[in-house]
Structure 1
C-alpha cells in the first residue's frame, strides 16, 4: 500500500495530521454540548477507548460557549460542528475550538464566510469543509443527473475555493456518503485534485452491526489506496463503539499497532463449551489492557493448540474444561469456568 504522504500538514490542537503522519481516529459526542458535565464524561470515555479527536455540535450560543469549559477538562482536540449560523462558528473559535466543521454553502453569504475565516486565521484554527451526498446542491444533482462521485468532488472543491479566496488554506476536506462504493469513487477522484488532508468516513452507516460492516468495507478500500488522514466510523449507538471499530479497521490494515487482537474460531460440532460467550467475555476483558499482543479463543482441545500457535496466549475448550496456551504450548488445564480468570491473571502479569 502506497500511503499518500504529500498532503498538507495541519495542526489540530495537540495533534498533527497530513504529510504521512499517523491516521487519527475521530468520533462525535451525542450529548447536548450545553451539558458540560455530560459532554465531558462522554469525551473522557472516548479518550479511554482511543479517540484522538472529538467533535461536538454547536447549534446555539450556549453550546459554543461551553466549548471553553469542556476544553479545560479533556485531553484531546475538540472540533465544533457548525450548520446554518456563522455566528456559532465565530463563537466556537473564540471559546477555544481546535477546529471547526462548516459547510460554506449553508452559513450565509460571502461576507459571513469571510468573518468566519478572519476569526479562524487570527487563532490559526483549521476549517474542515464538509460535503455530504444527502445535501448535494440541486444544480450539481441536475448537472450530473443524480448524486455522483463527480458531483461530490466538484462541490467539495468549490467550497475549498471559497475559503481560499478569503486568503486561508488551513483546511481539511471531507466528502461523505452512505453509499459505500460512491464514497470510494469520490475519494479516488478527489485525491487527484487536492493536497488538503482528508477526513474519511461512510456517513449514516447504520447500527453498530451493519454500520461497522459498511464502514469496514468502505474505509478498508479507501485507506488501502493510501487515502485518508483522519477517520470516523459513524454508528447509531454508543460513540465508544465507533472507536472500537475504527481501531480494528486500522489494525487489520496494518496502519496502527497497539491493543490486543482477539482471534476466535467460528465454532463447529466439536465445540463443547460456550465459545461464543467466552469469546465475547475475552474481547471485553482485553479491551482494558494496553498490550500489543494476539489472544486466541478456540472451541476444542483437539485443534486448539495448533490453531492458537501464532497467538501470544490463548484458551481452548474441551468437555467442561479447557487449556491455557502460551506461545503454542499448553501451560495449564482447568475447569471451563476458570479459563477467563486464568487468562486475566496472565495478562495482569504480562512481561514480568
Structure 2
C-alpha cells in the first residue's frame, strides 16, 4: 500500500501523519445559490458522515434533522430512499440541505435514477441487492453523465448469494470479492468516481476487509462498523475499527453507526479524528485516569472543562492536559499546549511547558477557558 503524508499541528510542531494514496471524488451541492463541494480522497481532510433516521418524504422533518447533524459537524448526510414517496421528496431535500446529500438505494435501481435527477451529491448502491447487471450499468451511465460519484456499499448482512455460498460466511475475502466485482463493472463503463465501503458488524473482520481493499485499489474508502450497537457499546467498536485503520493511514471518510440519536454519530466521529489529530482543528482534552495519588476533585474539573469547551466550539488546535497528582502531572501538563497539574486544593497552570500561574481548584475551569480564549493574543 503506497502511503502519502499530511501534516497536522501538535504542540506547535507539524508531525507527519501517514495517509494511503487514493484518487479523489468530489461531492457538489448548492446552498443559497452558492456552489460548494466536499472532497473525498486524494489527501482531502477526512469527512464525517451520518444518516437521518426519520422518513425522507417528511421533508420538513428530514431537513430539520439534516440541519441538526450539520450543526453538530456532519460534512455529508445520507438519507434512505425505500419508497416512491421518498424518491419524490429528494429534490426538495437537496434544495433545502446545508450539506451534500447522499441517496441510500437498495433493491430498486429506478430510485437511484430518480435521485440523480433530483440533484443528490452521491448515490450509495448495495451490490448485494441492486439487481440485474444492466440496471447497475444504467445507474452508472446516468451518474457519469451528471458527474455524480457512486459509493459501492458492501455490507456483511446483504452479500450476493453466490459469494456467500463460495466463502461460507461474510469473511473479509467475501466482502472484498463483492466490492471488486462491482468495481470491475464500473471500470468497464469507464466510471471512476467511486467510493468503496466494506462494512462488517465484526470489528476484526471489518478491519481485515478494508486492509484487503487498501492493498489492492486506490479508490477512496468510506469506513464504518455496521450495526455497531448502542451509545454504550457502539463508540467503542467504531473507535477500534475506524481508529485502527485511520492510524495506518487508511480511510477517507467515516460514519459511526449507532442505535441512538444520529447527532451522537457525528460527535463520536469527530472525537475519533481528534484523538488521532486528523480532524478539523479543536481543543483536545487529556485527563489522567486517576488513582489513590489523586489530589483534589479532578473529576469535576474535567467535566467542567469538557462541557465548557464543547459549548464554545473552539477551533483552536490545542492539547489541554488535566492531571491529578505530582507523579505524571507536571510532565504531562508541561508536554501539552496548556496543562493543569493538581495539588492539594490548588493547581499549577502550564503553557508550552512553563508555569504561568497557580489557582485554587474551584477556579481551574474558568482559568483554562480564559487561557484558551486569549491563546492567540498571548501565543
**TM-score of the aligned structures, taking structure 1 as reference length:** 0.88
* Length, aligned pairs only: 352
Structure 2 equivalent of residue 208 of structure 1: 231
> Structure 2 residue aligned with 1:298, among 323, 327, 332?
323
User: Which range is displaced more, 257-266 or 305-314?
Assistant: 305-314
Q: Superposed, which structure 2 residues align to 1:258-269 within 5 Å?
A: 258-269=281-292
What SS class does the counterpart of residue 191 from structure 1 fall into? helix
| CA displacement at 1:61 relative to structure 2 | 3.1
| CA displacement at 1:6 relative to structure 2 | 4.5
Deviations 1:117-173 (A, max 9, x none): 333222111111111112222322221232211111111112233344445332211
Q: Is residue 337 of structure 1 aligned with residue 347 of structure 2? A: no
User: Which range is displaced more, 318-327 or 224-233?
Assistant: 318-327
Task: Report the Cα distance in structure 2 between the residues aligned to 1:109 and 1:241, rounded to whole angstroms.
Answer: 37
Q: Is residue 2 of structure 1 aligned with residue 3 of structure 2? A: yes
> Structure 2 residue aligned with 1:311, among 336, 340, 355?
336
Task: Report the Cα distance in structure 2 between the residues aligned to 1:235 and 1:113, rounded to whole angstroms.
Answer: 29
Q: Superposed, which structure 2 residues align to 1:158-177 within 5 Å?
A: 158-177=181-200
Q: Is residue 78 of structure 1 aligned with residue 105 of structure 2? A: no
Say if 2:22 and 2:41, in contact at 8 Å, map to a contact too: yes
Gaps of 5+ in 2: 5-18, 29-36
User: Which range is displaced more, 73-82 or 317-326?
Assistant: 317-326
Task: Report the Cα distance in structure 2 between the residues aligned to 1:78 and 1:97, rounded to whole angstroms.
Answer: 5
Structure 2 equivalent of residue 11 of structure 1: 26
The RMSD of aligned alpha carbons is 2.6
Task: Report the Cα distance in structure 1 between the residues aligned to 2:240 and 2:84, rounded to whole angstroms.
Answer: 38
Task: Report the Cα distance in structure 2 between the residues aligned to 1:176 and 1:40, rounded to whole angstroms.
Answer: 27
> Structure 1 residue aligned with 2:172, among 136, 144, 149?
149
Task: Report the Cα distance in structure 2 between the residues aligned to 1:35 and 1:299, rounded to whole angstroms.
Answer: 50
Task: Report the Cα distance in structure 2 between the residues aligned to 1:21 and 1:268, rounded to whole angstroms.
Answer: 41
**TM-score of the aligned structures, taking structure 2 as reference length:** 0.83
Task: Report the Cα distance in structure 2 between the residues aligned to 1:104 and 1:167, rounded to whole angstroms.
Answer: 18
Say if 2:332 and 2:339, in contact at 8 Å, map to a contact too: no
Structure 1 equivalent of residue 51 of structure 2: 28
| CA displacement at 1:264 relative to structure 2 | 0.5
Deviations 1:255-309 (A, max 9, x none): 3451111101111223343322331332232231111011122224786444311
Task: Report the Cα distance in structure 2 between the residues aligned to 1:154 and 1:302, rounded to whole angstroms.
Answer: 52
Say if 1:61 and 1:91, in contact at 8 Å, map to a contact too: no
Task: Report the Cα distance in structure 2 between the residues aligned to 1:31 and 1:273, rounded to whole angstroms.
Answer: 45
| CA displacement at 1:330 relative to structure 2 | 4.2
| CA displacement at 1:77 relative to structure 2 | 1.4
